[in-house]
Structure 1
Amino acid sequence: MKYSTFITVCLLMVCLVQAQSVRKVKITELETVIKQSQRPLVINFWATYCKPCLEEMPGLVKAAEQYSKDSVQLILVSLDLEEDYPDKVNSFAKRFKVKGMLYWLDEYDADYFCPRVDSSWSGAIPASLFVNNKTGYRSFQERALTDSQVQLQIATMLAPARSQQ
């Protein structure tokens, strides 16, 4: 009995550690995740050295939890330097109790990856992309968002698609 309890606890700990570990992705992989998602997405581009990113993060995490019943999924994409991957990024995720998907973008040429996210993106962070493939909603925000702005973006993203004329 003690052995099975021990095994269960170990498996649970492994799952929790994996849930908070950062995964290395290329922009093409991220594009696929975005295009194929059946869930509304909040994709945030950030870095551990970016103070506005750190200030914005608690509101994003809280909103994702609040709208989890609506299947909203938070994807955090770190643009940290390679030497900060994965340790510094993982530490950050644990500190903010991140429950969403956590990626480190393995790209170095902003002129290549920024327009693949949004044609208007200059590369400044924080930046957030709100996408609902079911309704066709897409909104890119190249600035730090307040909690109320995040809430408004998500509410708009979840609204039924407007009829096309």
Structure 2
Amino acid sequence: MSIQPDHRIGKNAMQLVLLEEEEHLYGEKLKEQGFQFCLGKTGSMETQKVVAAIETAAKRSGVISPDGYRETHALYHAIMEALHGVTRGQVQLGSVLRTVGLRFAVVRGKPYEAETEGEWIAIALYGTIGAPVKGSEHEAMGLGINHI
């Protein structure tokens, strides 16, 4: 049940979210390896708006199916895990006077050699978090991985 070295889904999601000028080249590499992905940006003082933006992008791009519950459920758990990293374990924003400005990458694929391990989804978040005052924010990053 070993992970294929170039199929580490979390590492691929983090690299994709951090790239800006070369993301299209990296994206081609991911497609060649059988991964699906999407990229986007979101910012808000409300956690539900961040979750909704990522979920909408994943559905519109075809990374997850808009029908059914299983894929959306897996995506939700990966998003919440990634938000724990960004918010340092307290997934609260506006209620504690914090706001985020984030880039996100959603990557779906088969990181394991064994077909029986199935598909997984990873969410990488990178950006800023802080008081809703320009210049009061700092960098933050989060990663969430879940099986589908």
The structure carrying a bigger helix percent of its residues is 1
The structure carrying a bigger strand percent of its residues is 2
User: Which of these two proteins has the greater Rg computed from alpha carbons?
Assistant: 1
Does TM, normalized by the shorter one, top 0.5? no
Q: What's the TM-score once normalised by structure 1's chain length?
A: 0.28
Q: What's the TM-score once normalised by structure 2's chain length?
A: 0.30
